Amino acid sequence: LPARKAPGPDGFTAEFLRACWTTIRQDFLDVFQQLYDLRGRGFYKLNQALLTLLPKKADAQGLRDYRPIC
């Protein structure tokens, strides 16, 4: 993952995650431990997305005239 790219919609870049890892490490581990303890019953929470369509041109009319961002 490039340092200045965010892997998801939260906007946290790889650069940020690496720089702050000692601070956020335990929180990440706790989240994955909780998911493990739920034996897969909580994974639906990770499979949600907010999808936004941005027009590629001013007079967008069809689906091909938009690009998705999440």
Which residue is it, tokens 């994974």? 43
Tell me what pLDDT residue 35 has.
79
Q: Tens-of-pLDDT digits for all 70 residues of the chain? A: 677 777 777 788 889 889 999 999 999 899 888 878 887 676 776 777 778 899 999 999 998 999 887 6
What is the reported pLDDT for 42?
67
Task: Assess contact for 30 and 38: CB atoms under 8 A.
Answer: no
Rounded to an integer, what distance in angstroms lies between the CA atom of residue 50 and that of residue 9?
Answer: 8
pLDDT for 61 equals: 92
Residue written as tokens 């938009």?
66
Domain ranges of the chain: 14-69
Pairwise CA distance, residues 56 & 7, whole Å: 23
Q: CA 32, 26, 43: angle at the middle one, nearest 5?
A: 15
Q: What is the pLDDT of residue 31?
A: 85
